[in-house]
Amino acid sequence: MKAPVAAATVLLALASGCGVVDRSDGYRVTVEFSDVLDLVPHSSVKVDDVTVGSVEKISLSGWTAKVRVRLDRKVQLPANATAAVRQTSLLGEKYVEVAKPTTEAARGKLTDGSVIPLARTRRSAEVEEVLAALGLVLNGGGLAQLKTINQELATAFDGREPVARDALHQLDEFMGGLDKQKADLVRAIEALDRLTGRLVQQRAVIGDALDALGPGITVLADQSTQLTGALKSLGELGTVGTRVVNESKADTVASLRALRPILDQLVKAGDDLPQSLDFLLTYPFPPNVTGAIVGDFVNLAITADLDAASILANLVAAGPRVSKAGKTATTTPRGTTKTPKPGTLAPSLPGQLPLECLPLDGILPPEWVPPKECKLPDGCKLLAPGSPVPLGGLLIPAEGLVPAGTVFPAGTKLPKGTVLTAQCLLGAVTGAVDGVVGGLTDVLTGGLTP
């Protein structure tokens, strides 16, 4: 009886050594392989070198081998687990290794009926494959060339170890920089992919454009000699121009210095020059005459204040004469002369503001407003110096004295450059003709006043 007991003991030991485990209460998973080598049913399935199941069936579907394995119910693996065909030793048996993924995060759970696809499986190299590759290298497979390459590299780096080491450090930094910019590189490649896609869509348009460029390129090629000559001539022109500029430098500087007094006078002229140019357009008429010209005739409105006594007195009195000082003297009916002093106001005429409405010294401040009983015509405004002159308006001259013909008595002082609107002028041009019909009797009696 000792022999059967010993045989049973040996069989039990062999069974234990081969890792046969009963997994009748486990769950089944299908694993796809491109090559299972000499894997056979009842082979072990291991996780971290621990047997957790066995191979139940191996089948073929096209060029893919499907291995159905049974795993222990206690084994918990993610749904994206990987599998590989391994070998226990150099000449040992094959087994299936199941492991967690290493290139991505674990997700889900491996359950009964799950499939580990071909993309997540691999196999180890066979001993025969390793020996065949080694034989290829040793049997005229380039081993002598590797020796030559090794010797040449040793000769090249001999005495240049610091330079090689620095190059390796720079290469490491370069690769590190590329790794940090990996996201930017990916975006650039994706943008390039989108660009190439659009270029593919516009391939016909690009082809037509290139075909249209052909004749132009042909013309440029035919005229390459002329273009080259033109460029050379342009270079010579630049040389001549440089020489001319250098030789005429002194004359140019002298001409600019001679122009300086003229420019200074133009600056001093200020607004007088553009205003005079405005007057030249309507010479010999003032600028506001354009509103009175209708076709080939001019409409004028004239207001005559005729007083018989004044007319007869002026007829028998002496006319105006010029004094020794060069100023106009006025003649009274009695023959006496009176020269107006600078800054004095002439008596107000019909339509003008009475002298009582003006300040005692006759100088209007910039913000002057007449008293309530003295009303200016509608639209009559004193614009600040520097304002544009409106159509029909008046610019007060440099001395600041108001000339005759405005609602202000002649001699009224305003700030230099003040602008009067057209409504401030007496008898503004309207294009209408007003008149009063009468005879000589009406003139002598003073009744011909409109």
pLDDT > 70: percent of the chain: 71
Tokens in use for 241? Answer: 């121009």
Q: What is the pLDDT of residue 2?
A: 39
CA distance 383 to 233: 61
Weakest-pLDDT range from 84-93, 183-192, 328-337: 328-337
What is the rounded average pLDDT of the residues 269-282? 75
Confidence of residue 403 (pLDDT cuts 50, 70, 90): confident
**Does residue 68 surpass a pLDDT of 90?**
yes
CA distance 398 to 396: 7
Which CA distances in Å does 62 have to 40, 53, 68, 83, 115?
19, 26, 16, 20, 17
pLDDT: is 444 or 33 the higher one?
33
Weakest-pLDDT range from 105-119, 134-148, 325-339, 363-377: 325-339
Q: What is the pLDDT of residue 396?
A: 79
Sign for the CA dihedral angle at 269, 273, 274, 278 comes to: positive
Round the average pLDDT of the chain to a whole number and report it.
Answer: 77
The backbone torsions φ and ψ at residue 206, rounded to the nearest 5 degrees and listed phi first, read -65, -40
Q: What residues does 442 pair with on adjacent strands?
A: none
What is the rounded average pLDDT of the residues 91-103? 89
390 DSSP 8-state letter: P
Weakest-pLDDT range from 83-87, 141-145, 176-180, 270-274: 141-145
Tokens in use for 233? Answer: 């001539």
Q: What residues does 95 pair with on adjacent strands?
A: 86
Residues whose CB falls within 8 Å of the CB of residue 54, separated by 6 or more in sequence, listed in order: 20, 21, 23, 42, 43, 44, 45, 69, 70
What is the rounded average pLDDT of the residues 220-234? 89
Alpha helices in 181-271 (DSSP H): 182-201, 203-222, 224-247, 249-269
Q: How many CA atoms lie within 13 A of 162 on its CB side?
A: 0
Weakest-pLDDT range from 72-76, 97-101, 440-444: 440-444
What is the rounded average pLDDT of the residues 294-304? 69
Compute how many other C-beta atoms are within 10 angstroms of the C-beta atom of residue 135.
Answer: 10
Side chain identity at 16, as an amino acid letter?
Answer: S
Residues whose CB falls within 8 Å of the CB of residue 292, separated by 6 or more in sequence, listed in order: 298, 299, 300, 429, 431
Report the predicted TM-score, pTM, of the whole model to 2 decimal places.
0.30
Confidence of residue 316 (pLDDT cuts 50, 70, 90): low
**Does residue 117 surpass a pLDDT of 80?**
yes
CA distance 394 to 264: 27
Supply the DSSP string of 307-330, one letter for each residue. Answer: -HHHHHHHHHS---EE-TTS-EEE
Q: What is the pLDDT of residue 438?
A: 54
What is the rounded average pLDDT of the residues 386-400? 80
What is the rounded average pLDDT of the residues 76-87? 92
Q: What is the pLDDT of residue 427?
A: 66
pLDDT: is 311 or 17 the higher one?
311
Note whether 96 and 39 are within 8 A (CB). yes
